Structure 1
Amino acid sequence: MNIQKTAADLLDFISQSTSSFHTVTASETILKKAGFSELLPTKEWHLEKKHAYYTKIYDSSIIAFTINDKPLHNLRIAAAHTDFPCLRIKPAATIEKNKYISLNIEIYGGMILNTWLDRPLSIAGKVVLKSNNVFSPKVNLVDFRKPLLTIPNLAIHMNRKINEGISLNPQKDMLPLFSMTDSSKETNDLIIELLATETACSPEDILSYELTVYPAETGCLLGYNEEFISSHRLDNITSVKACLDGLLTGSRKQGINIIALFDNEEVGSRTKQGAGSFILPHIIERIYDSLGFSHADYLTAIAGGFLLSADVAHALHPNVPEKTDPTNLPLLNHGTAIKIAASQSYANDAEAIGIIKSLCQKHDINYQLFVNRADTKGGSTLGSILSANMPMRSLDIGIPILAMHSARETMGINDQVSITKLIKHFFSE
């Protein structure tokens, strides 16, 4: 697998994935090109062996699968999430004060607030418009793909203690600057005007929106030997891309392979399109039912299945190494991290760890272990949530990164190859 091409493809995919909706759209484009057929959740399914399918869940989650010979042979699932920490624009967002026009926002997920200051920011998301059927409004996706906003820092002359640390109030300090008042005309809701122009509709036709503010800069390679990738949304678009590539290159001739890319992980997953819902077990049951298998067959497949939950891990920080566990030291460019937690905030058991270690060793895939320090509470991800609703052997894995939840994160260029190879062989054995 070519390292440079893998990195370039990842950066291109990240550039397209400016909201959960756009991550799903970019994923759908890849799947369609590979010959996958779309299934509508609201229609009856008629599935066939040796075919590949996908279905979208409320536009921000997507589940894709391939049906091989002997579908009951075994079930393999890889999961990741499509969302990322960001700012979301509130309704009636325009705030006018002292001739400045700012936007009213709320924080989505556990973002590092000060990393978003003084950056060029853009807007992407979904706009809902009136139609002739009130229960079926028209939906447009928008992505302005140019700098529209910034959140200005306060100059050091006005806060001499700024380098000693500062607490930012999201409702006061994180409002993006959008425009200036034009005294010659009345100021309307500028976001609505912007969206009306972009969607070629009347402002009165806009019913609602879900809009993400995202950094407008592009990702890049960096380092003396270009051994690092610096980009927004490495958490968790790296895993989304690896799941897609692994599914498309997996070569199993038997069983069913599934990838599940969920929204709302950063806010707890407990939504209709999140991993905390029953959407995945319901879809798997529909697959087996459409193929003519019984409910007992479905339960047997779940019990014998294996789930890989792919999300990023914390790498050893070069300036603050004491924050890392003393014996488990994940490094950039040293392979996929197997994530372990006694609390089960990461899904794991000894057999699952052993299986994935053996798979890596068999195919010369670099891997390492990640465990939080005993005095540090780590995050959580999809694995334990999914396996609680769908009891099967499960393991959390992910690429080690620096500055997780910053506006810009850093990873090793080799590690995307490692996780992609792992998921490929997971879908091949």
Structure 2
Amino acid sequence: MSEPPRFDRGHTDDLMTFLAASPTPYHAVANVAQRLEKAGFRQVAETDAWDAVSGGAYVLRGGAVIAWYVPEGADAHTPFRVVGAHTDSPNLRVKPRPDTGAHGWRQVAVEIYGGPLLNSWLDRDLGLAGRLSLRDGSSRLVNVDRPLLRVPQLAIHLDRNVTADGLKLDKQRHLQPVWGLGSDVRDGDLIAFLEQEAGLAAGSVTGWDLMTHSVEPPAYLGRDQDLVAGPRMDNLLSVHAGTAALAAAASTGARLSSIPVLAAFDHEETGSQSDTGADGPLLGTVLERSVFARGGTLEDRARAFAGTVCLSSDTGHAVHPNYAERHDPTHHPRVNGGPILKVNVNNRYATDGSGRAVFAAACERADVPFQSFVSNNAMPCGTTIGPITAARHGIRTVDIGAAILSMHSARELCGADDPHLLANALTAFLRG
């Protein structure tokens, strides 16, 4: 196979814009929707009756989005080709009673979401973003994208053993960020501040889903700018690539032999068990309703699902130059080497030999190189939405992704070639 091309600066620039504009799953799906609208897709409500009109459509629910494109002349039993991803990332999330403090410091009470590298959140300028639920039943997105919070690390003079014993953080005591001074901590201060930031009337917010984010923007890195550093690459890199791939596949129109789908779920980092997670019914319900809207029966649904394939796209581990012994000795994925095919015979990943063939064919059509990843036998293996999707819906599923370093850090690192190589492979897959 030919050498990979010099990276597509336009695609990578656009990824960086997407990362910066998507500090939460709610912002990510709003940005996906905006891009789909520009590509001619229309939003449909789950509470409405769906029609058999061909073209692109999408459903939003919380931090999840399911989008699909029905080509003209598609039968009720036409199979789907699904790109699966997730919108959430590990971070610090605001508790129900957020206002706290001690010793003259105003602080925000936070809970640990997922499995973040806690040290990466120390001494970093943090913003605050998320969804505000209003008294009238509506919601509003808010994004304070400037230095607002900070989790200050203890000075080495007060912890002389830290260099010998390593940094040890208590999740309850050591991760509460400061955001001001004052001994009079009043309930409602943070939410009142956010109401002002969002231009809302005082007392209009009755619920919230808020989380911290690093305000340092994504950036090219390295002598040749062949690396990209930025937040939430796990897994907005895949969400962005999947969105671009779906729009590109939709432009193919009537030549499609299957129905391309993007399924971006929330709550993967905490097990996917929610109404917007991959272990919920959302994807299956949307695909079934698409079949039934085209006049299909349960038999057509079974035929469509039997022919469906899903690429579960999530970031994976590039070989770390300082910890190469933690990787399998014969599998060392490298950044800018193309997407990785994830394999685990204990079904932590859903890939099997037939799935490998599907992905290899897509990469060949796209002229994209790919690599393989398996864990070191002595190390536990992570997992993805792939096995969940395969088991819940009976859909053949393949686990893939882009190789990165610093996974679950507040700021991760990928190769500048890999985002567009992944998007090209996903486009070829969705086009079938």
| Equivalent in the alignment of 1:151 | 151
| Equivalent in the alignment of 1:173 | 174
Matched, 1:82 2:83: no
Matched, 1:125 2:124: no
Matched-pair contact (CA < 8 Å) for 2:57–2:68: yes
Please, which of 414, 417, 429 is the counterpart of residue 417 of structure 2? Answer: 414
Matched-pair contact (CA < 8 Å) for 2:81–2:310: yes
| Equivalent in the alignment of 1:372 | 375
Matched-pair contact (CA < 8 Å) for 1:221–1:230: yes
Residue correspondence of structure 1 range 334-349 to structure 2 within 5 A: 334-349=337-352
Compute the TM-score of the two structures, normalised by the length of structure 1: 0.95
Please, which of 31, 34, 50 is the counterpart of residue 29 of structure 1? Answer: 34
| Counterparts of 1:73 and 1:63, CA distance in 2 | 18
| Equivalent in the alignment of 1:293 | 296
**One-letter amino acid matched to 1:4:** R
Q: Which has the higher mean CA deviation after the structures are superposed, 156-165 or 296-305?
A: 156-165
Matched-pair contact (CA < 8 Å) for 1:192–1:203: no
Identical-residue share of aligned pairs (%): 32
| Counterparts of 1:409 and 1:199, CA distance in 2 | 29
Matched-pair contact (CA < 8 Å) for 2:365–2:428: no
Which secondary structure does the structure 2 equivalent of 1:14 belong to? helix
| Counterparts of 2:44 and 2:109, CA distance in 1 | 38
- How much does 1:97 deviate? 1.2
- Runs of 5+ unmatched residues, structure 1: 132-136
- How much does 1:105 deviate? 0.5
- How much does 1:323 deviate? 0.6
Compute the TM-score of the two structures, normalised by the length of structure 2: 0.95
| Equivalent in the alignment of 1:245 | 244
- Runs of 5+ unmatched residues, structure 2: none
- How much does 1:354 deviate? 1.7
- How much does 1:188 deviate? 4.4
Please, which of 261, 265, 280 is the counterpart of residue 264 of structure 2? Answer: 261
Matched-pair contact (CA < 8 Å) for 1:86–1:108: yes
Please, which of 356, 362, 365 is the counterpart of residue 359 of structure 1? Answer: 362
Matched, 1:275 2:294: no
| Counterparts of 2:101 and 2:359, CA distance in 1 | 55
- How much does 1:295 deviate? 1.2
Matched, 1:4 2:3: no
- How much does 1:359 deviate? 2.5
**One-letter amino acid matched to 1:156:** I
Cα deviation, 1:260-292, whole Å, max 9, x if unaligned, reads 000000000000110001111111110010011
Matched-pair contact (CA < 8 Å) for 1:339–1:397: yes
Aligned-residue Cα RMSD (Å) equals: 1.4
Matched-pair contact (CA < 8 Å) for 1:62–1:260: yes
| Counterparts of 2:38 and 2:377, CA distance in 1 | 46
**One-letter amino acid matched to 2:422:** I
Please, which of 410, 427, 430 is the counterpart of residue 427 of structure 1? Answer: 430
Matched-pair contact (CA < 8 Å) for 1:181–1:187: no
Matched-pair contact (CA < 8 Å) for 1:315–1:331: yes
| Equivalent in the alignment of 1:134 | none
Cα deviation, 1:143-186, whole Å, max 9, x if unaligned, reads 01111000001111111122231211111100001110177xx7
Which secondary structure does the structure 2 equivalent of 1:276 belong to? coil
| Counterparts of 1:276 and 1:74, CA distance in 2 | 21
